[in-house]
């Protein structure tokens, strides 16, 4: 009877040695792939209020650059891409040219908080059109002093809502000297 306690202790170890080791590991469970994301719904076009002063600004920043001969220029757009709007001074003719991307418009409308003006647009460099304004025209002051923004629209082109930053008046002042 003495062997019973020994068998009770050693029995499970002896029996474990009788189980053969598996020859191949069991197949791993196939990884579960995440369900495909639902296609993104097109973003709805934001409804713009009737007051253009509430419209979101066009993405970008102004950059001023001095030019030889005392004139200056400024461009507006997203860094690393072509500007959507440029102002340049022609000191010889004392005119400020506003250049925007687009080729189809013959007339553009500029809106400021104090004035609205429809102006003829002419082709400029490839892919752009231009408006020319005399440097002493008070409409340039209306653009520069517009409360936070001004708008350029028309000709089937996307509307630009541009911030009225100091670079605008700097170009105008360069042209008035």
Q: CA separation (Å) from 52 to 57, 149, 174?
A: 10, 9, 29
Residue 18 lies in a domain: no
Residue 25 lies in a domain: no
Please tell me the predicted confidence (pLDDT) of residue 38. Answer: 58
* Listed residue (158, 45, 161) closest to 104, CA to CA: 158
Domain that holds residue 171: 55-176
Write the pLDDT tens digit of every residue in 26-61.
666 666 665 655 555 555 555 677 888 889 999 999
Phi, psi angles (nearest 5°) of residue 153: -145, 165
Residue 141 lies in a domain: yes
Residue 110 buriedness (CB in 10 A; 0-12 / 13-18 / 19+) = buried
Number of structural domains in the chain: 1
Residue 66 half-sphere exposure toward CB, CA atoms < 13 A: 3
Residues 100, 97: Cα–Cα separation, whole Å: 10
Average pLDDT, the chain: 83
Average pLDDT on 117-136 reads 94
With 70 as the cut, is the pLDDT of residue 10 above it? no
Write the pLDDT tens digit of every residue in 62-110.
999 988 777 789 999 999 999 999 999 999 999 999 999 988 778 999 9
Residue 8 lies in a domain: no
Residue 121 lies in a domain: yes
């Amino acid at each position: 009877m003495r062997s019973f306690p020994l068998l009770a202790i050693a029995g499970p170890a002896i029996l474990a040695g009788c189980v053969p080791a598996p020859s191949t590991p069991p197949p791993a469970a196939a990884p579960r792939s995440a369900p495909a994301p639902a296609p993104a719904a097109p973003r709805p076009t934001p409804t713009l209020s009737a007051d253009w002063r509430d419209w979101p600004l066009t993405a970008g920043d102004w950059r001023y650059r001095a030019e030889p001969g005392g004139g200056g220029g400024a461009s507006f757009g997203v860094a690393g891409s072509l500007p959507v709007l440029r102002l340049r001074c022609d000191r010889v003719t004392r005119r400020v040219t506003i250049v925007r991307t687009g080729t189809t418009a013959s007339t553009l409308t500029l809106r400021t908080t104090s004035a609205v003006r429809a102006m003829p647009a002419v082709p400029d460099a490839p892919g752009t059109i231009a408006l020319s304004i005399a440097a002493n025209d008070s409409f340039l002051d209306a653009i520069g002093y517009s409360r936070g923004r001004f708008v350029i629209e028309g000709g089937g082109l996307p509307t630009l809502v541009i911030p009225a930053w100091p670079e605008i008046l700097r170009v105008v002042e360069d042209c008035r000297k």
